[in-house]
Structure 1
Amino acid sequence: MVTIYHNRMCSKSRQTLELLQEQGQEVEVVEYLKQTPTAEELSQVLAKLRMKPEQLLRKGEQVYKEQFAGKHHSDEEWIQIMVENPSLIERPIVVNGDKAAIGRPPESVLSIL
């Protein structure tokens, strides 16, 4: 089973979910704006993505521009900021075992199936 951190309001997230279903994948859908991952869960996802927390930020979001743009934080602080402001987490993220990928473009998740 694969897990998708999903925002149903996002077209890329919807397209990625549809692609996974077309591939016959059993999918656990985590609507991360409602079921925010813990700091530990987010750290695990980042490790699977092989990314630093700052790389996962949606810097175009208003909350980022107003509160965090140009500021420097530790990795742990960025993770906590994303837990407290889940709209800052890039989407969609698909996790398959010890691998993960961001569905931008949606087809990029095919490499971890």
Structure 2
Amino acid sequence: MTDDMGVIATNKREIKLFYNAETNKGMQTLAYLKSSQKKVLDIDLSKTKVTGTQWTELAKLLGKPIKDLINTEHPDFIKKYGKSPELPDDEDWLKLMENNPKVVTQPILVNGDQAVQIDTPSEVMQFIEDED
């Protein structure tokens, strides 16, 4: 059985960055990528709606549960859902992300069949070095 990506096309020659332009981390990560020779497709979460299906695919690529993509310490999150929300399933977390993209923890970089959450913008360097 093959598990191919349906909605998010993956390509080794192109880097996709899911980020929030309203955050320093997102903008710095994008700046690093733009300075490279790689083709970059940037998806600004503050302007572009990412679907539940796409979030599910990203979580699968990252090998994490959907709720791990959410910063539950974010002030907007706490204000709306409290410090320890009782969201029973992935559907609830997906709705939360679709409606509040600001609560996504950090930029997510997709390159080919690899995805990584970016903690430090300089981490992207490993993806933009010339490959042989």
The alignment's TM-score, normalised by the length of structure 1, stands at 0.86
Q: Which residue of 2 aligns with 1:103?
A: 118
Identity of aligned residues (%): 23
Tell me the C-alpha RMSD between the 2 structures: 1.8
Query: Where does the alignment leave 5 or more consecutive residues of structure 1 unmatched?
Result: none
Task: Summarize the alignment of residues 46-61 of structure 1 with structure 2, pairs less than 5 Å apart.
Answer: 46-61=59-74
Q: Give yes or no for contact 2:17–2:40 (8 Å, CA) kept in 1.
A: yes
Task: Summarize the alignment of residues 1-113 of structure 1 with structure 2, pairs less than 5 Å apart.
Answer: 1-68=14-81, 69-73=83-87, 74-111=89-126
Q: Which residue of 1 aligns with 2:7?
A: none
Give how far 1:111 is off.
4.6
Q: Which residue of 1 aligns with 2:11?
A: none
CA pair 67-9 structure 1, distance change in 2 beyond 3 A: closer
The alignment's TM-score, normalised by the length of structure 2, stands at 0.75
- Matches of 1:110 and 1:75, distance apart in 2: 32
Query: Where does the alignment leave 5 or more consecutive residues of structure 2 unmatched?
Result: 1-13
Which structure has the bigger radius of gyration?
A: 2
Q: Give yes or no for contact 2:21–2:45 (8 Å, CA) kept in 1.
A: no
Give how far 1:99 is off.
1.3
Q: Give yes or no for contact 1:100–1:112 (8 Å, CA) kept in 2.
A: no
Deviates more, 1:82-91 or 1:36-45: 82-91
